[in-house]
């Protein structure tokens, strides 16, 4: 009987199996060179060369490609090797028997970190159970998506109810001598907050270029949120900062540089977003592992090369009221009350309480409520958070909107919803449905990464953003890996995506007879799922 | 599609004129009802302009319930007018047992009340009667306000006219402003409350159009003011928005069109008053109607107005002579009533235009 070391990590424990077809391999070595995870390696295998029984066994040595069996250098299923192989000699297969997550904890005594997205999709997508079912025919003319004009803009900023605008009437005209909270009219899709650090500077730059192009050339007023990682000084001091929403989170990363640049800024930013939580890992702060803290990241953030872990909470904030008084007031004051200050929270059973408190804030200084659902993306998180914490966006958005309706205050703090939008390929439809359910707009990050070439999915493929070894050069600061990303091509694809999405939004607006955003028009939606209908207060159909 | 009409005159006119105005537009409606609102009343009502006038249709039980409520609050009847109904067979009408039009004196407790206090009493009383009638399924209260009389009924407008003896212009009632609609059917249900014109505290609205944002309007308006009730028709939202803008917010009339049909952001940005208009657009986003519509309205001070949607998808024409102005869906109606007018003075409002007829019949036109 042979000896077997059963406690040793084995190929069968790994999540992905690399199948190698020696007959097709020309030993060019591209697969090994391209694998950022060092999951495969060249190896020498001994083979018995066939001969007669009496003949002594002839052993031949062959160069083959083998999979590494390691807790760190293992295949993530990204498939880059299959992309570079000229002959299709490699094939990646998911191993349904994988025990790596259990073995890792047992071996290392620590929790698993991952990036990307949740990979335990047991919920199903509510948005896919909803259809746009109120089509304008005869009752009111349906519109033509190509020929009619549509208004796809929504305010970002605190909206006061009409009776609080303190308007005065002079010569039959309304005049106003009251300083009112700042409002910005923006496109209802915001490029979600992904920091320089979480994504490569090339990815970030591509998004910034796309944002500027969409605004300056296409006339689509898309805004981009910086994420918690600062913003390059040159951009900060340029006119293009007006398209950027600056994020401040519990780590306050990058804010020294922002404050230093303030005297030289020629434009106000589009807004400030105070991140309290995020949908992918509610209750956790930002997490940037040291291997992604490149020199320029250190400069922008003003930090040493170390794991950058933002605290779960903003230090010193212990209640909603206090946060309003301290943080929102300070951020408003910092930009002379000219820039909307919004909040981003993870969707949670408590979201309505938070939203209600903000709505009732007597200072009227909260200018947006970004609600992030559990299918959202992240650069790095503990797997336990990614897979087991969070709240779907759809019902929580609806709850918040209806809470505002209950008080007659809908629209006063615009709601932007995000988290897994476009997951099944129909981003415009997701956005339209959420707007009908009460969102002023939506935000997306992860989807844009997928447009840029991210090959991760919700079935555990890749999701290694935390390692800094992103094979697409998107979530990495490695100079070789990031070179894989063609900035101009990514920017172009992002612009194209927005143009296509813009058209698709118009298509849905046209069919439902809306020439402006159907915020709260839940009568346009139907569902064949009675539970969804009851929960969201939309029409049940069968 | 609805057909709507409004007549404003310097002299007292008879509802038969409204019937005639709407008959020639019959091809444009479905002959399913007739409703009118008379304002600035004449004839037997002329001397009671400051006292509230109740317009109701009810069963015997409903009539008693309403009378009890009014009595309990302290109202006392000053004048009652009952139309002489014609029970001839074959009329296409679904009449109610009783039609009550009466002028009431305010309760003694309100002898020295302010205008606002009296108005508060009227709306509260009106809502109380409405609720009671609804609970008992025993009738409808259409208006309870000084100098306003309302009648709504299901059936053929011609036969409704015959039933209520409205073709005979020798007998009252009379008024200087009459608004009317010849259609009872709506997108929803045949309900008397759903018939235009809609009245609230002296504001009257008729709309030929669709309110695509009905759901949002309704959700927002329900919490704005206690009098915003019913919502049997999506067009009621136009009335409530007009009331909210002009009476509660006290904004000039022209801002009504900026609320129901806001300009695009890019258009507003070209204007001097952009800061104001953007605030209105944001704050009253849920009152945008976003549908094809031509809205006719009367204000408590007797102004007649017309507002057209951004694409001018619903017809409306205005014709006039020295003492009468008519706004209606089809010019055919005007031709019947004012055949000898100077047609060069006819007005065909454009998209995003508001036309206001003042009490001296001067015309103001505002292009949004």
Convert the pLDDT of each residue in A94-148 to its tens digit: 999 999 999 999 999 999 999 888 877 766 899 999 999 998 887 677 788 888 8
Query: Is the pLDDT reported for residue B187 higher than 70?
Result: no
Q: Which residue of A has its CA nearest to B220?
A: A408
> pLDDT for A244-302, tens place per residue?
999 998 888 889 889 999 999 999 999 999 999 999 888 888 888 888 999 999 988 88
Q: Does A167 touch chain B (CB under 8 A)?
A: yes
What mean pLDDT is predicted for residues B211-221? 94
Joined together, the tokens standing for residue B362 give 């001067």
Residue B185 pLDDT more than 70? no
- Residue found under tokens 């398209």: A243
Q: How far is B361 from chain A (nearest CA, A)?
A: 19
Name the residue facing B283 among A162, A406, A515 (closest C-beta): A162
Chain A residues lying within 8 Å of B292, measured CB to CB: 140-141
- The DSSP letter of residue A503 is H
Q: What is the CATH number of domain A143-521?
A: 3.20.20.70
Please judge whether A140 and B280 are an interchain contact, meaning their C-beta atoms are less than 8 angstroms apart. Answer: no
3-state helix, strand, coil in chain B (%, to 5): 35, 30, 40
* Sequential DSSP letters for B282-333: HHTGGG---S-EEEEEE-TT--EEEEE-TT--S--EEEE-SSEEEEES-HHH
pLDDT above 90: residue B188:
no
The reply to whether A514 touches chain B by the CB within 8 Å rule is: yes
pLDDT tens digits for range A503-527: 999 999 999 999 999 999 999 999 9
Burial of B137 (0-12, 13-18, 19+ CB in 10 A): exposed
CA distances from A276 to A282, A285, A313, B261 (A): 9, 8, 7, 37
Shortest CB distance from A140 goes to which of B215, B220, B292?
Answer: B292
Mean pLDDT of A432-448: 97
CA B36 to chain centre: 7
Residue A30: is it exposed, middle or buried by C-beta count within 10 angstroms (0-12/13-18/19+)?
middle
pLDDT for residue B186: 57
A177 touches chain B (CB under 8 A): no
Angstrom CA distances, A146 to A2, A149, A503, A511, A536, stand at 73, 8, 8, 12, 31
CB-CB under 8 Å, A408 with B250: no
Q: What is the pLDDT of residues B2-45, one digit of tens each?
A: 789 999 999 999 999 999 998 888 776 667 788 999 999 999 99
B251–chain A Cβ distance below 8 A for any pair: yes
User: Who has greater pLDDT, A460 or A86?
Assistant: A86
**Which positions 198-227 of B are in contact with A (Cβ < 8 Å)?**
210, 212-216, 219-220, 222-224
Question: Which of B251, B255, B232, B208 has its CA nearest to residue B2?
Answer: B208
A173/B252 CB distance under 8 A: yes
pTM higher than 0.90: yes
A136 touches chain B (CB under 8 A): yes
- Chain pair A-B, CB pairs under 8 angstroms: 100
**ipTM of this complex prediction, to 2 decimal places:** 0.92
Helix, strand, coil shares of chain A as percentages rounded to 5? 35, 20, 50
Q: What pLDDT shows up at residue B189?
A: 65
| HSE (side-chain half, CA atoms, 13 Å) at A279 | 31
Residue B184 has what pLDDT? 54
Residue range B4-367 forms a domain whose CATH class is alpha beta
Closest-approach residue (CA) in chain A for B247:
A163
Report the sign of the C-alpha dihedral through residues B156, B162, B164, B167, in that order. positive
Q: Does B313 touch chain A (CB under 8 A)?
A: yes
For chain A, what are the domain ranges?
Answer: 11-110, 143-521
In this model, does residue A186 exceed pLDDT 70?
yes
Distance CA A256, CA A494 (A): 30
**A489–chain B nearest CA distance, Å:** 31
Q: Which residue of B188, B207, B219, B287 to mutate against A (max A Cβ within 10 Å)? A: B219
Question: Are B285 and A519 a contacting pair at CB < 8 A?
Answer: yes
Which residue does chain B place closest to A148, by CA atoms?
B311
Residues in CB range of A317: below 8 A, 6 or more apart: A323, A326, A327
Cβ–Cβ contact A138 with B under 8 A? no
Query: Cβ of A410 and B286 within 8 Å?
Result: yes
Domain range A11-110, CATH architecture: 2-Layer Sandwich (3.30)
Which residue has better confidence, B159 or A321? Answer: B159
Query: Regarding beta strands A189-191 and A244-248, do their DSSP bridges make them parallel or antiparallel, or are they unpaired?
Result: unpaired
Give the mean pLDDT of chain A: 92
Q: Name the minimum distance, in Å, from the CA of A373 to any CA of chain B.
A: 25
Interface test with A, best of B255, B257, B290, B364 (most A CBs within 10 A): B290
- At residue A384, the pLDDT reads 92
B118 interfaces chain A, CB cutoff of 8 Å = no
> In chain B, which residues have their Cβ closer than 8 Å to the Cβ of A159?
282-283, 285
**If DSSP codes are grouped into helix, strand and coil, which group holds residue A182?**
coil
Q: Name the residue facing A151 among B223, B265, B313 (closest C-beta).
A: B265
Whether A151 has its CB under 8 Å from any CB of chain B: the answer is yes
């Amino acid at each position: 009987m042979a000896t077997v070391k059963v406690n040793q990590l084995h190929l069968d424990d790994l999540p992905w199996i690399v199948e190698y077809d020696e007959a097709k391999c020309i030993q060019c070595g591209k697969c090994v060179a391209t694998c950022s995870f060092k999951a495969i390696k060249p190896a020498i295998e001994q083979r018995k060369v066939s001969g007669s029984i009496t003949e002594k066994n002839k052993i031949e040595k062959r160069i083959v490609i083998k999979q590494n069996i390691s807790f760190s250098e293992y295949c993530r299923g990204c498939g880059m090797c299959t992309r570079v192989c000229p002959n299709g000699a490699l094939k990646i297969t998911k191993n349904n028997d994988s025990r790596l997550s259990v073995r890792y904890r047992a071996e290392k005594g620590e929790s698993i970190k991952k990036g990307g997205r949740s990979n335990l999709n047991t919920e199903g997508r509510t948005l896919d159970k909803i259809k746009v079912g109120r089509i304008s025919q005869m009752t009111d003319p349906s519109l033509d998506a190509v020929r009619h004009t549509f208004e796809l803009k929504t305010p970002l900023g605190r909206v006061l109810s009409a009776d609080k605008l303190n308007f005065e009437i002079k010569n039959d005209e309304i005049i106003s001598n009251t300083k009112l909270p700042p409002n910005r009219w923006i496109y209802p899709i915001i490029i979600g907050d992904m920091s320089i650090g979480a994504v490569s500077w090339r990815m970030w730059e591509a998004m910034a270029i796309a944002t500027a192009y969409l605004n300056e050339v296409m006339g689509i007023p898309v805004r981009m949120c910086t994420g918690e990682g600062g913003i390059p000084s040159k951009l900060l001091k340029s006119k293009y900062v007006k398209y950027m929403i600056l994020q401040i989170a519990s780590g306050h990363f990058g804010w020294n540089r922002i404050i230093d640049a303030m005297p030289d800024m020629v434009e106000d930013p589009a807004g400030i977003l105070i991140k309290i939580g995020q949908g992918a890992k509610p209750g956790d702060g930002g997490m940037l592992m040291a291997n992604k803290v490149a020199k320029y990241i250190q400069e922008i953030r003003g930090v040493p090369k170390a794991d950058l872990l933002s605290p779960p909470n903003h230090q010193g904030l212990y209640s909603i009221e206090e946060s309003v008084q301290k943080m929102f007031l300070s951020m408003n004051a910092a930009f002379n009350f000219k820039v909307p200050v919004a909040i981003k929270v993870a969707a949670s059973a408590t979201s309505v309480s938070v939203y209600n408190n903000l709505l009732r804030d007597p200072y009227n200084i909260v200018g947006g409520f970004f609600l992030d659902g559990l299918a959202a993306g992240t650069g790095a998180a503990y797997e336990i958070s990614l897979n087991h914490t969070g709240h779907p966006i759809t019902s929580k958005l609806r709850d918040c909107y209806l809470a505002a309706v209950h008080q007659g205050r809908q629209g006063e703090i615009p709601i932007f919803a995000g988290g897994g939008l476009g997951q099944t390929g129909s981003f415009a439809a997701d956005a339209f449905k959420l707007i009908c359910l009460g969102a002023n707009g939506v935000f997306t990050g992860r989807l844009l990464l997928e447009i840029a070439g991210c090959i991760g999915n919700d079935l555990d493929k890749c999701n290694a953003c935390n390692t800094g070894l992103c094979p697409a050069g998107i979530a990495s600061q490695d100079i070789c890996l990031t070179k894989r990303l063609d900035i101009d091509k990514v920017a172009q694809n992002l612009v194209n995506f927005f143009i296509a999405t813009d058209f698709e939004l118009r298509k849905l607006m046209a069919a439902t007879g809306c020439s402006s955003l159907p915020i709260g028009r839940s009568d346009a939606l139907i569902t064949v799922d009675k539970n969804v209908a009851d929960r969201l207060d939309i029409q049940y159909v069968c | 599609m609805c057909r709507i009409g409004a007549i404003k005159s310097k002299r007292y006119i008879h509802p038969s004129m409204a019937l005639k105005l709407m008959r020639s537009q019959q091809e444009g409606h479905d002959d399913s009802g007739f409703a009118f609102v008379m304002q600035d009343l004449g004839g037997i009502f002329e001397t009671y302009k400051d006292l509230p006038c109740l317009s109701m249709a009810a069963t015997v039980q409903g009539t008693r319930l309403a009378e009890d409520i009014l009595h309990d609050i302290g109202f006392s009847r000053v004048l009652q007018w009952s139309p002489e109904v014609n029970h001839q067979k074959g009329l296409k009408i679904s009449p109610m047992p009783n039609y009550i039009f009466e002028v009431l004196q305010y309760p003694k407790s309100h002898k020295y009340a302010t205008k606002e206090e009296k108005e508060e009493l009227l709306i509260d009383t009106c809502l109380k009667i409405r609720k009671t009638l609804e609970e008992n399924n025993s009738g409808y209260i259409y208006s309870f306000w000084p100098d306003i009389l309302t009648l709504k009924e299901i059936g053929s407008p011609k036969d409704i006219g015959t039933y209520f003896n409205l073709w005979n212009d020798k007998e009252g009632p009379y008024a200087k402003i009459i608004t009317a609609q010849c259609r009872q059917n709506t997108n929803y249900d045949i309900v008397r409350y759903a018939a235009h014109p809609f009245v609230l505290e002296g504001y009257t609205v008729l709309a030929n159009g669709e309110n695509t944002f009905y759901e949002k309007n309704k959700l927002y308006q329900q919490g704005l003011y206690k009098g915003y009730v019913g919502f049997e028709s999506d067009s009621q939202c136009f009335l409530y928005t007009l009331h909210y803008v002009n009476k509660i917010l006290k904004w000039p009339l022209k801002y009504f069109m900026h609320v129901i049909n806001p300009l695009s952001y890019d258009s507003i940005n070209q204007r001097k008053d952009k800061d104001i208009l953007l605030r209105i657009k944001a704050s009253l986003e849920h009152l945008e109607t976003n549908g094809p519509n031509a809205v006719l309205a009367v204000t408590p001070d007797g102004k007649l107005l017309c507002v057209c949607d951004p694409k001018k998808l619903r017809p409306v024409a205005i014709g006039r002579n020295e003492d009468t102005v008519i706004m209606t869906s089809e010019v055919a109606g005007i031709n019947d009533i004012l055949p000898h007018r100077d047609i060069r003075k006819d007005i065909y409002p454009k998209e995003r235009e508001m036309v206001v007829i003042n009490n001296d019949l001067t015309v103001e036109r505002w292009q949004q």
